[in-house]
Structure 1
Amino acid sequence: MTNFLFVAAENDGLYKCKAGGMGDVVRDVPRQISERGDKAHVVVPAYSRLHKGGTFKTNLHFELRGTIYIAELYEVVPKKEYPNITHYVIHHPEIEAGDIAQIYHNNPVEPFYSDFVKYVIFCTAVAEAIKQGAFGDLDIVHMHDWHSSLVLFLKTFHPAYTDLKKIRFVYSIHNLAIQGIRPFENNYASLRNWFRDIDYDTEQLKDYRYQDCINLMAVGIRFADAVHTVSPSYKEDVLLPSAPPEFIGGEGLELDLQKADNEGRLFGILNGSNYSNIRVAKENQIYKNIIKAIFQWLQEESKKYKADFLAHTGEKVVKFLSKPPSFIVSSVARLTEQKFYFFKRSPEALFEILKKLEEQNGILMILGTGAPEYEELLRSISYEYENLIFINGQSEDVIDSIYMESDLYFMPSLFEPCGISQMLAMRNGHPCLVHHTGGLKDTVEHMKTGFSFDGNTYDEKIRNMVASFDLILDIYNNDKALWKKIQNDAKKMRFTWKKSVDAYYKSLYLCGS
């Protein structure tokens, strides 16, 4: 039996521990490992809340900032129990919940300041727990994004954790654009402040652009035994330099990624999607679920600042209870530059799309929270356009209903390492309109299982994005047979975790399944 540890910032195997697609991966891959008879441990931060009701396992003592820290390891109950999977959280008062999904902090003035502090404590606690044998004798540690990469720093440079070198370390890149860059010195959230007596090599840790800083995404790429991008096309993208906004590639780390590729350490393996034991909402409940969610949010103190807008959205939706729209376009995503850059830079393109949908008695429904400037943009457009339904919150029932009841799923990502939303929409037989980039290339085929747009210049991409709606609405209205075929072919597509994890065992884990 192979013994695995997954280290991540998110785990959707637990309640309220997800902000993005990483949470889905950390939920589903251990389940596949369990089915193969191997053992998986999954550990995430407690964020001052997830340890409550858990079972205390042990105290973890380690030195940071010249003082002894004591963190607590808890075993916690997951959403669903599986044999051979154990879920843990690490609690320490300084591992605080952030303002994004109660996980990440948004520090616009000094990026990653708060998150660096909490993930330093978390990663050191994880290294100490591994050293103590809290997860048994581990064969493979699978880490996810920069939040976990400090475990590799400790394994490489910290004399207390040299025993970790006998374990194989795998590093998955979910979002290369978020790199966890912090100063080496002269800051509370700096490497030297937290590791005062450790002899480390700044040349091996530095960011190429900001050479007085550590780049934690680069640490993961440079020191892992295997590096993994979450789709084959994204692997090809990140080997090339970025030229934004026309092309998003290696984001300054393409030389590290090329080196990993030349050394046979870099692999592009498409994420999977779940096709069994699926959580679903009741059919034909989308507008009732939205209104119910809005009433719940209106009672939350943290939502008071946007109560007027939530009421405005609820008023829009009420009329659909008796007169539903004829065509629903939807999008569920964190509101970030990656997901909605085209709307922020070219709002006139969004206006054109809304006008095309208005002629069709159609709506565009966007659900998400995220960067304040993107929330404000969509709120302001919602006041102006009756057929933009901006659901500025998170609700599993509403999300389930959106995936079940939309006619078209819209995913205009500037770049996309893999994407899971398009897989969930296709699973329900709904065509997607996507930007032809990264993992979206690997999952949506234009005019066969969905629709895609691209262009050699930014302006060409925007024109093609808007023009796509003419094509889609024309097929929907005038060629029902073709529309039905695209729906059926989308529904037949299978991006299974079994296939993905088969590739993990072969290329990342180097062990039989």
Structure 2
Amino acid sequence: MINFLFVAAENDGIAQCKAGGMGDVVRDVPRQISERGDSAHIVVPSYSRLHQNGTLVGTMSFPLRGIVYDAELYKINPKKEFDNLHHYVIHHPEIKAGEIGHIYHDDPEEPFFTDNIKYTIFCTAVAEAIKLGYFGNLDIVHMHDWHSSLLLFIKTYHPDYTVLKKMRFVYTIHNLAIQGIRPFYDNYSSLSNWFPNIPIDEEKLRDHRYQDCINLMAVGIRLADSVHTVSPSYKEDVLKPSAPPEFIGGEGLESDLQLANNEGRLFGILNGANYKNIRVAEKGFIYRNTVKALFGWLQDEDKKYKADFLAHTGEKVMQYVSNRPKFIVSSVARLTEQKFYFFKRSPEAFVAILEKLKKVDGIFMLLGTGAPDYEELFRRLSYEHDNFIFTNGQSEDLIDSMYLETDLYFMPSLFEPCGISQMLSMRNGNPCLVHNTGGLKDTVKHMKTGFTFDGKTYDEKIENMLEVMDQAMDVYINDKPKWDQIGANAKKMRFTWEKSLDDYYKYLYSINR
């Protein structure tokens, strides 16, 4: 039996520990490992809340900032039990919940300042827990994004943790654009402040652009035994330099990724989706679930500042309870530059889509929270356009209803390492309209399983997006057999974790069976 440890910021295998697609992956991959007869442990931060109903496994004491830190390891009950699969959180008072999904902090003036502090404590506590044997004798440590890559710094340079050198370290990139850059010196969150007795190998750790800073994403790429992008096309993208907004590639790390690729350490393996043991929504409840979510948010102290807007959305939804629209377009995503840059820079293009929908008695439903300027944009557009329903919050029941009852799922991502939303929509037999980039390129085929747009320039992309929207609506209205065939083709697609795990074992874990 092979023994794995997954180290990440999110794990949707336990309650209230997800902000994005990383949580899905960290939930699903260990489950597949369990089904193969191997053992997996998953550890994430407690964020001052997740440990409260857990069972204390043990404590860890370790030096940071020249003083001794004490942290606690708790075992947590999962959403679903699997053999040889164990869920843990690490609690320390300085590992606090952030504003984003009650996980990440949003430091507008010094990005990554607060998160860097809490993930430094977390990673060091994980190293100590490994050293103490709390996870047994480990073979593979699988880290996810910059939040966990400090483990590689500790493994490589910290004299107290040479035991980590016995294990294979795998690093998955979920979002290359977020790199966890912090100073080497002269800052509370700097590397030297937290590890004052470890000489800093600036050449191996530094950011290419900010020479006085460590780049934690780069640390993962440079020091891991294998590096993983979550789709084959995204791997090809990141080997090239970015030229925004037309193309998002290696984001300044393309030379590191090229080196990893030349060394045979870089692999592009598509994420999977679940096709069994899934939550099944009932058809016909999309508006009821919208209203239910709105009432819930209105009672939430954190949402009081937008109570007027939530009430406005409720009034809007009620008109569709008895007078249902003929065509529903939907999107579910965090409101960020990655997901909605095209709409933020060209709101007139989004308005044009709403006008097209109005002609066929159609609506656009968007669910999400995120960057304040994106939230403000969509709230304004909601007040201005009757057929745009913006549910500015998070609700699992409503999300399930949207995936089930939408006619066309819209995903205009500027870049997309893999994407899970298009897979979930296709699973229900709903065509998607997507930007032909990264994992979307690997999963949606134009006029076969959905609709795709692209272009050599930004203006071409916007123009093509609107043309493809016209094309999709024309098929829906005038060629129902073709539309039904595209939906049936989408539903037949299977992006299974079983197939992905075969490649994980062979390439990432270097295990041949």
Tell me the TM-score normalised to structure 1 length: 1.00
Per-residue deviation, residues 291-328 of structure 1 (Å, max 9, x unmatched): 00100110010100000000000110011110111100
In structure 2, the partner of 1:89 is 89
In structure 2, the partner of 1:78 is 78
Is 1:255 aligned to residue 255 of structure 2? Answer: yes
Q: Confirm or deny: 8 A CA contact 2:271 2:418 kept in the other structure.
A: yes
In structure 2, the partner of 1:144 is 144
**C-alpha distance in 2 between matches for 1:379 and 1:112:** 27
Aligned AA (1:38): D
In structure 2, the partner of 1:161 is 161
**C-alpha distance in 2 between matches for 1:425 and 1:103:** 26
What SS does the corresponding residue of 2:245 show, helix, strand or coil? coil
**C-alpha distance in 1 between matches for 2:430 and 2:236:** 28
In structure 1, the partner of 2:319 is 319
Is 1:344 aligned to residue 350 of structure 2? Answer: no
Deviation at 1:199, TM superposition (A): 1.5
Is 1:59 aligned to residue 59 of structure 2? Answer: yes
**C-alpha distance in 1 between matches for 2:483 and 2:441:** 20
Is 1:415 aligned to residue 419 of structure 2? Answer: no
Q: Moved runs in structure 1, 4+ residues, more than 6 A?
A: none
What SS does the corresponding residue of 2:279 show, helix, strand or coil? coil
In structure 2, the partner of 1:198 is 198
**C-alpha distance in 2 between matches for 1:156 and 1:487:** 50
Per-residue deviation, residues 255-299 of structure 1 (Å, max 9, x unmatched): 000000000000000000000010122221000001001001100
Per-residue deviation, residues 1-23 of structure 1 (Å, max 9, x unmatched): 00000000000001110010000
Structure 1: give runs of 5+ residues left out of the alignment: none
Deviation at 1:466, TM superposition (A): 1.1
Is 1:433 aligned to residue 433 of structure 2? Answer: yes
Matches within 5 A, 1:263-412: 263-412=263-412
In structure 2, the partner of 1:182 is 182
What SS does the corresponding residue of 2:433 show, helix, strand or coil? strand
What SS does the corresponding residue of 1:170 show, helix, strand or coil? strand
**C-alpha distance in 1 between matches for 2:380 and 2:62:** 49
Tell me the TM-score normalised to structure 2 length: 1.00
- For the aligned residue pairs, the C-alpha RMSD in angstroms reads 0.6
**C-alpha distance in 2 between matches for 1:353 and 1:467:** 10
Q: Confirm or deny: 8 A CA contact 2:331 2:366 kept in the other structure.
A: yes
**C-alpha distance in 2 between matches for 1:178 and 1:358:** 37
Deviation at 1:512, TM superposition (A): 3.4
Per-residue deviation, residues 382-430 of structure 1 (Å, max 9, x unmatched): 0001111101000000000000000000000000000000000000000
**C-alpha distance in 2 between matches for 1:44 and 1:202:** 28
**C-alpha distance in 1 between matches for 2:117 and 2:381:** 37
What SS does the corresponding residue of 1:44 show, helix, strand or coil? strand
Aligned AA (1:185): Y
What SS does the corresponding residue of 1:429 show, helix, strand or coil? coil
**C-alpha distance in 1 between matches for 2:288 and 2:512:** 48
In structure 1, the partner of 2:237 is 237
**C-alpha distance in 2 between matches for 1:116 and 1:346:** 34
**C-alpha distance in 1 between matches for 2:204 and 2:93:** 31
Q: Confirm or deny: 8 A CA contact 2:192 2:200 kept in the other structure.
A: no
Aligned AA (1:130): I
Is 1:6 aligned to residue 6 of structure 2? Answer: yes
Percent of pairs identical after alignment?
A: 73
What SS does the corresponding residue of 2:147 show, helix, strand or coil? helix
Deviation at 1:200, TM superposition (A): 2.4
What SS does the corresponding residue of 1:461 show, helix, strand or coil? helix
Per-residue deviation, residues 165-210 of structure 1 (Å, max 9, x unmatched): 1100000000000000011111111111111111120110000000
What SS does the corresponding residue of 1:147 show, helix, strand or coil? coil
Deviation at 1:462, TM superposition (A): 0.3
**C-alpha distance in 2 between matches for 1:294 and 1:328:** 19
Q: Confirm or deny: 8 A CA contact 2:181 2:207 kept in the other structure.
A: yes
Q: Confirm or deny: 8 A CA contact 2:245 2:414 kept in the other structure.
A: yes
**C-alpha distance in 1 between matches for 2:113 and 2:427:** 39
What SS does the corresponding residue of 1:409 show, helix, strand or coil? strand
